[in-house]
């Protein structure tokens, strides 16, 4: 069983809390400690960004994090090593990579190397379902699960394609825009229904999760979990405690499980 | 998508999922408009009566060789860019959008977008790197004068590529009401195809004009390549002809220096701003900074059709350095009384080289824009002696 399936089974209805960190932000050593901190805070799954110079799907907070990592001289190989060492410390937590197509293309064997480092899934932010096929084929061969994005404006036909191509979870975006913009998403129950109808992997909401009420609203919409990114990365940039923040949001998923 | 949006292995539609429906809508509107005689007639009216088409084809009287200049510098707005902003502006109307966004480097595409925004009544927002805003105050004022809002972009290197990133981010949230008026034949499908079709008029006119003047096809067709819209527009109607097609990239301070914008000559295949194409990048895939004396050629990717024309061998790509371009700029002013854009001077620089090597051949050069915007910089550079005498003699021999 994949680590994602095992996680969903273990949670049995309790919402999954995904914590996002940019690898190498602000430097390699701190980054390794931050990965441990979000797990300590109770994150059920870890999403890690591999920094790219031109992250068009990201808002200013994540962009700045990528820039900090790149300015610190962090390379793709360092990121893969951070993942490998986290995997050595923790054999169970699902680790998903979020990055951009040019990073994947530039390193021959990037997908295989990611799988070997112990990552469980790969989301390429600028590869929509329309262009995903060749990447998915390579991921299947390497044994890493493809994750695709479903947005409120994604037609049912594309959701079916996402159902056929992806595994792990479906990264749902309920409002237009990029990561980390201030207004919280209106967590669209209709999108979650359509994702489930299409038979796509478990829907998880990303974008706009920074407060307990966002987690609650996202889970109330029927999502199987949430991913919190910019709010955590903001704390990293201010060198503030991420573990207790993760703990406060994760707590909501436990309280909310009764509603399921 | 109705078309596959590929040029050989290059092109495609590499954007966040949320933008795919916007690009599908744009493709549909574009394809429908191509089949709509009323749309074509309206565009042609604007091109003729507003923008000043057809532009002349001028045979150089005093420069050596047989060089013909396709005079996009005489188009309203001062460059070829007006052709395609009118096309996209009409499409935006057709899609009932009320707002235009665009990226700009030195400001030429921003000015062109502000023109069409004022003409067709759009709210217009231009993203421009904060450094460029500082360097190009006059163009910023031009845009503002025509009612556009200019937003300085402070992320990344604060130049053109960062402005594109920011425009894409805006569009991800605003596409229901907003058209992203991309400035060149690059980016995700359908932009490379659409922009080529709106720029095809350059080559179509030039082909007819040179046959009228010369009673035959030219031997070589030369254009500068940044994103590549003026080059693809000039090449498009010559692709099936037995004619050499040559694109000239910015060799900056030299192709073997780190300071150039020669994406096709020194880049490697990658994916940037929505398309698979050549990209100037490091071995990790991080996009590198570019350099050119000409802001319009200072871009780390290139239109995917050029990537294909290079790999298929149908077109040849060469570089011209800052100094060579500046020399050509000066020579055209002195010998022909034409002050051209630094971008266009790159194409002319290669034409001068070719004319010296093969004096008998007929060369068509895309003079993509006028040089008013570059005069102050030219004054500073020529004063600093960037064009040396030895080089000048070699080129004018």
For chains A and B, count residue pairs whose Cβ atoms are closer than 8 Å.
113
The partner residue sitting opposite A127, judged by closest CB among B14, B173, B272, is B14
| Facing residue for B17 by CB, picked from A67, A107, A149 | A149
Q: Which pair of structure tokens corresponds to residue B4?
A: 């596959």
Closest CA to A229 of A81, A84, A55: A55
Look up residue B310 and give its DSSP letter: H
- 8 Å CB contact of B271 and A178: no
pLDDT at A118: 98
User: Residue A260: inside a domain, yes or no?
Assistant: no
Residue numbers in A near B186 (CB within 8 A): none
In a 3-state reduction of DSSP, which class is residue B121? Answer: coil
Report which of residues B390 and B158 the model is more confident about. B158
pLDDT score of A86 more than 50: yes
d(CA A25, CA A3): 25
A44 located within any domain:
yes
- Mutation pick from A51, A71, A126, A180 vs chain B, by most beta carbons of B within 10 Å, is A126
In chain B, whose CA is at the least distance from the CA of A107?
B284
User: Would residue A27 show up in a list of annotated catalytic residues for this protein?
Assistant: no
Based on the residue annotation, tell me whether A29 is a catalytic residue of this protein. Answer: no
Q: Is the pLDDT of residue B396 over 60?
A: no
Compute the distance between CA of residue A67 and CA of residue A60 in angstroms, rounded to an integer. 10
How far is Cα A108 from Cα B268, in angstroms, rounded to an integer? 13
Number of domains in chain A: 1
The arrangement of strands across the sheet holding A16-22 comes to: A145-146, A121-124, A95-99, A45-49, A16-22, A225-228, A203-205, A170-173, A149-151
Predicted confidence at residue A260, as pLDDT, reads 43
Residue A51 CB partners (closer than 8 Å, separation 6+): A22, A23, A24, A25, A65, A66, A67, A69, A70, A74, A79
Å from A87 to nearest chain B CA? 23
Name, in order, each residue with C-beta under 8 angstroms of B261's C-beta and a sequence gap of 6 or more: B226, B249, B250, B252, B280, B290, B291, B292, B297, B298, B299, B300
Residues in chain B: 397
What value does the mean pLDDT take over residues A86-97?
Answer: 98
Nearest residue, CB atoms, B155 vs list A60, A105, A153: A60
- From the list A58, A69, A71, the residue with the least C-alpha distance to A27 is A69
Structure tokens, B267: 């880049």
CB B273 to CB A130 under 8 A? no
Chain A residues close to B19, C-beta within 8 Å: 128
Nearest one of B314, B331, B303 to B224, comparing CA atoms = B303
Q: What is the ipTM of this complex?
A: 0.95
pLDDT over threshold 80, residue B139:
yes
B173 class by beta-carbon count within 10 Å (0-12 exposed, 13-18 middle, 19+ buried): middle
**CA closest to A106 among chain B residues:** B285
Place of tokens 């927002």: B125
Report the residue count for chain A: 260
Looking at residue A174, what is its pLDDT?
74
pLDDT (tens digit, 9 = 90+) per residue, B222-251? Answer: 999 999 999 999 999 999 999 999 999 999
**Integer CA distances (angstroms), B243 to B213, B216, B265, B306, in order:** 17, 11, 21, 16
Which of A70, A75, A126 minimises the CB distance to B14? A126
Single out the catalytic residue among B13, B80, B179, B306.
B80
Distance from CA of B217 to the nearest CA of A (A): 40
Distance linking the first and last C-alpha atoms of chain B: 52
| Residue B153 with chain A: CB contacts under 8 Å | none
Strand B57-59 to B66-71 pairing? antiparallel
What integer pLDDT is reported at residue A259 of this predicted model?
47
A173 in a structural domain: yes
Chain segment B34-59, per-residue pLDDT in tens: 999 999 999 999 999 999 999 999 99
CA-nearest residue of chain B to A55?
A: B165
Partner residue facing B272 (CB), from A54, A125, A153: A54
Q: B170: nearest CA in chain A? A: A177
Where residue A257 falls among pLDDT bands split at 50, 70, 90? low
Residues of B in contact with A106 (CB under 8 A): 270, 281, 283-285
pLDDT bracket for residue B388 (50, 70, 90) = low
Q: How close does chain A come to B360, measured CA to CA in Å?
A: 45
Instruction: Tell me which residue has tokens 């051209």.
Output: B340
Is there a contact between A105 and B271 (Cβ–Cβ < 8 Å)?
Answer: yes
B34 vs B40: CA distance, rounded Å: 7
Distance CA B190, CA B34 (A): 13
pLDDT at res. A130: 97
User: Structural domain of residue A96, as residue ranges?
Assistant: 3-251
Q: How far apart are CA B78 and CA B268, in angstroms?
A: 33
CATH number of the domain that residue A33 is part of: 3.20.20.70
Q: What is the DSSP string of B180-223?
A: E---SS-SSTTHHHHHHHHHHHHHHHHHHHHHHHHSS--SEEEE
Average pLDDT, chain A: 94
Provide residues of A within 8 Å CB-CB of chain B. Answer: 52-57, 59-60, 63-64, 67, 70, 75-76, 100-107, 125-131, 148-151, 153-155, 158, 173, 175-178, 181
Instruction: Please check whether residue A179 lies inside any domain of the structure.
Output: yes
**Segment B68-91 mean pLDDT:** 98
**Residue A245: inside a domain:** yes
Residues A14, A25, A44, A47: which is the catalytic one?
A47
pLDDT confidence band for B271 (50 / 70 / 90): very high
DSSP state of B76: T
The number of CA neighbours under 13 Å toward the Cβ of A232 is 36
Residue-wise pLDDT for B356-378, tens only, equals 999 999 999 999 999 999 999 99
Contact A126 B284 (CB under 8 A): no
- The set of residues, in sequence order, having a beta carbon less than 8 Å from that of B167 and lying 6+ positions away, is B101, B102, B103, B127, B180, B182
Q: Select from B291, B44, B84, B174 the least CA-distant residue to A178.
A: B174
Interface probe for A, chosen from B159, B180, B285, B299 (most Cβ of A below 10 Å), is B285
Q: What is the pLDDT of residues B293-304, one digit of tens each?
A: 888 898 999 999
Residue of B nearest to A78 (CA): B284
- The gap from C-alpha B65 to its chain's centroid, in whole angstroms, comes to 26
* B160: closest chain A residue by CA: A54
Choose among A54, A107, A176: nearest Cβ to B18: A176
Record: contact A100-B281, CB cut-off 8 A: no
Is residue A42 included in any domain, yes or no?
Answer: yes
CB contact under 8 A, B14 and A101: yes
Per the prediction, chain B carries an average pLDDT of 95
Residues ≥6 apart with Cβ < 8 Å to B113: B85, B100, B102, B104, B124, B126, B143, B148, B181, B183
In a domain, A167, yes or no: yes
Q: Which chain B residues contact residue A151 at CB under 8 A? A: 17-18
Q: Side by side, which strands form the sheet with B57-59?
A: B57-59, B66-71, B362-367, B220-224, B244-252, B315-321
pLDDT at B397 over 60: no
Classify residue A257: in a domain, yes or no. Answer: no
Nearest Cβ partner for A130 among B20, B161, B273: B20
Residue of B nearest to A100 (CA): B271
**DSSP secondary-structure letter at B157?**
T
């Amino acid at each position: 069983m994949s680590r994602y399936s095992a996680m969903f089974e273990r949670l049995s209805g309790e919402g999954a809390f995904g914590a996002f960190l940019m690898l190498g932000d602000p430097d390699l050593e701190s980054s390794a400690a931050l990965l441990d901190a979000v797990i300590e805070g109770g994150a059920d799954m870890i999403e890690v960004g591999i920094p790219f110079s031109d992250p068009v799907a990201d808002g200013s907070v994540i962009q700045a994090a990528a820039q900090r990592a790149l300015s610190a001289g962090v390379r793709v190989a360092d990121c893969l090593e951070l993942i490998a060492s986290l995997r050595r410390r923790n054999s169970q937590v699902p680790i998903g990579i979020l990055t951009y197509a040019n990073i994947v293309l530039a390193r021959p064997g990037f997908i295989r190397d990611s799988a070997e480092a112990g990552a469980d899934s790969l989301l390429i932010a600028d590869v929509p379902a329309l262009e995903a096929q060749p990447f998915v084929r390579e991921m299947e061969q390497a044994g890493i699960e493809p994750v695709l994005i479903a947005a409120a404006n994604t037609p049912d036909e594309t959701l079916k394609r996402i159902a056929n191509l992806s595994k792990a979870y479906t990264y749902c975006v309920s409002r237009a825009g990029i990561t980390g913009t201030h207004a919280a998403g209106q967590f669209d129950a209709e999108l979650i229904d359509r994702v489930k109808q299409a038979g796509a992997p478990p829907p998880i909401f990303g974008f706009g999760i920074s407060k307990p009420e966002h987690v609650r609203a996202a889970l109330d919409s029927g999502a199987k979990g949430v991913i919190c990114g910019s709010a955590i990365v903001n704390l990293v940039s201010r060198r503030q405690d991420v573990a207790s923040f993760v703990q406060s949001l994760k707590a909501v998923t436990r309280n909310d499980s009764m509603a399921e | 998508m109705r078309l596959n949006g590929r040029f050989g292995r290059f092109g495609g539609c590499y954007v966040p999922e949320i933008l795919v429906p916007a690009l599908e809508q744009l493709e549909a509107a574009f394809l429908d408009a191509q089949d709509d005689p009323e749309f074509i007639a309206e565009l042609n009216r604007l091109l003729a009566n507003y923008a000043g088409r057809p532009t002349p084809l001028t045979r150089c009287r005093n420069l050596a060789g047989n060089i013909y200049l396709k005079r996009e510098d005489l188009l309203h707005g001062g460059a070829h860019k007006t052709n395609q902003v009118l096309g996209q502006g009409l499409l935006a109307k057709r899609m009932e959008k009320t707002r235009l966004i665009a990226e700009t480097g030195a400001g030429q595409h921003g000015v062109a977008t502000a023109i069409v925004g004022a003409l067709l009544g759009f709210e217009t927002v231009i993203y421009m790197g904060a450094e460029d805003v500082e360097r190009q105050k006059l163009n910023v004022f031009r845009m503002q004068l025509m009612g556009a809002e200019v937003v300085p972009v402070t992320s990344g290197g604060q130049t053109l590529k960062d402005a594109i990133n920011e425009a894409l981010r805006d569009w991800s949230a605003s596409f229901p009401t907003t058209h992203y008026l991309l400035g060149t034949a690059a980016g995700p499908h359908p932009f490379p195809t659409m922009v080529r079709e709106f720029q095809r008029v350059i080559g179509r006119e030039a082909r007819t004009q040179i046959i009228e003047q010369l009673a035959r096809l030219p031997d070589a067709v030369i254009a500068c390549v940044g994103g590549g819209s003026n080059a693809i527009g000039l090449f498009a109607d010559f692709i099936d002809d037995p004619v050499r097609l040559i694109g000239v990239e910015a060799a900056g301070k030299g192709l073997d220096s780190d300071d150039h914008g020669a994406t096709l000559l020194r880049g490697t295949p990658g994916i940037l701003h929505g398309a698979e194409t050549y990209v100037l990048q490091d071995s990790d895939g991080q996009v590198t900074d570019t350099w050119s004396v000409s802001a319009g050629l200072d871009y780390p990717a290139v239109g995917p059709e050029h990537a294909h024309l290079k790999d298929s061998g149908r077109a040849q790509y060469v570089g011209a350095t800052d100094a060579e371009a500046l020399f050509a700029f000066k020579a055209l002013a002195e010998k022909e009384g034409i002050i051209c854009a630094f971008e266009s001077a790159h194409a002319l620089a290669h034409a001068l080289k070719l004319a010296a090597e093969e004096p008998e051949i007929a060369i068509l050069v895309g003079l993509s824009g006028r040089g008013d915007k570059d005069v102050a910089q030219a004054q500073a550079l020529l004063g600093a002696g960037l064009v040396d005498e030895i080089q000048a003699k070699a080129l004018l021999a």
